């Protein structure tokens, strides 16, 4: 399997949906897409953010008049239905089904013309950036998709290539609901294994940083973020 990754960066005012992430710094999302042909697509989106931010934008998350899929200036034409699957204090999960599409410049629908065996799509949003990770069986038509996305992209957004590589695993917060990033998980596991959380501590932060070959400030930050996410998840679990 191959993963093709690229990032679209939107200017303020380019897209109403993108502006939500630009205006609200705590807002993050991960969306999984699937489609088998250019006329049908579904999207499962997990949004996280400060409780007051999510409460303020709840109506807009379910507003199908807001275009969130097309990468051009043309709106997607088709039957669109969005529903709220789960609501928690710091997160929302929505499901959108787009059918009977006659025209839509969405990345998954563009890709469907190049990958007859199908593909999996993951999009992560924060700030101005929307990063796409596309999982395909082979890399034969990746260049065609690269050219199509870059060529159709609206003028108020930019395209940057991240990587094309073989992969044997694919992490997703939707498939594996863990809000701790991979680099934070690495530090947290090392801290637990080395006895950082024991009383008294069996390893110092400096020793942990040396073991991981990372700056002390980086280890400290990642450890604080990981423990903060664990605390939030525990408190919000049943809300």
Report how far residue 107's alpha carbon sits from residue 32's, in angstroms, rounded to the nearest whole number: 12
Q: Can you tell me the mean pLDDT for 76-91?
A: 90
Q: Which two tokens stand for residue 235?
A: 């408190």
User: CA–CA distance from 206 to each of 170, 199, 203, 210, 212 (Å)?
Assistant: 32, 17, 8, 6, 10
Structure confidence at residue 90 as a pLDDT band (50, 70, 90):
confident
38-73 pLDDT, tens digit per residue, is 889 999 999 989 999 999 999 999 998 899 999 999
Asked whether the beta carbons of 5 and 131 are under 8 A apart, the reply is yes
Please state, rounded to an integer, the average pLDDT across all residues of the chain. Answer: 88
Whether the pLDDT of residue 233 is over 70: the answer is no
The CB density around residue 185, as the number of other CB atoms within 10 Å, is 14
Residue 181 gets which letter from DSSP? -
Report yes or no: 62 and 83 within 8 Å, Cβ to Cβ: yes
Q: What is the pLDDT of residue 23?
A: 95
Concatenate the DSSP letters of all residues of 118-157 into one string: --EEEEEEETTEEEEEEEES-STTHHHHHHHHHHH--TTE
Instruction: Tell me the pLDDT tens digit for each residue of 129-183.
Output: 999 999 988 888 899 999 999 999 999 999 999 999 988 776 665 555 556 777 8
Give the per-residue pLDDT at 229.
76
pLDDT tops 60 at residue 237: no
Residue 102: φ, ψ to 5°? -100, -25
Q: pLDDT-derived band of residue 123, with 50, 70 and 90 as boundaries?
A: very high
């Amino acid at each position: 399997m191959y993963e093709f990754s690229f990032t679209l960066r939107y200017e303020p005012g380019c897209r109403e949906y993108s502006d939500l992430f630009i205006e609200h710094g705590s807002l993050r999302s991960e969306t999984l897409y699937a489609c088998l042909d250019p006329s049908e697509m579904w999207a499962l989106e997990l949004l996280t953010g400060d409780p007051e931010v999510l409460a303020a934008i709840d109506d807009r998350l379910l507003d199908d008049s807001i275009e969130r899929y097309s990468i051009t200036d043309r709106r997607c034409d088709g039957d669109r239905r969005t529903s709220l699957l789960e609501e928690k204090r710091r997160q929302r999960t929505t499901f959108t089904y787009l059918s009977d599409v006659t025209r839509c410049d969405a990345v998954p629908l563009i890709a469907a013309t190049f990958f007859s065996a199908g593909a999996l799509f993951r999009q992560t949003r924060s700030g101005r950036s929307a990063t796409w990770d596309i999982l395909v069986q082979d890399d034969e038509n990746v260049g065609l998709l690269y050219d199509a996305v870059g060529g159709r992209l609206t003028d108020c957004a930019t395209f940057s290539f991240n990587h094309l590589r073989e992969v044997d695993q694919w992490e997703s917060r939707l498939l594996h609901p863990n809000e701790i990033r991979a680099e934070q998980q690495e530090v947290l596991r090392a801290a637990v294994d080395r006895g950082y959380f024991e009383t008294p501590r069996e390893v110092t932060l400096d020793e942990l940083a040396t073991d991981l070959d990372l700056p002390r400030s980086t280890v400290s930050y990642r450890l604080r973020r990981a423990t903060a996410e664990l605390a939030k998840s525990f408190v919000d679990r049943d809300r």
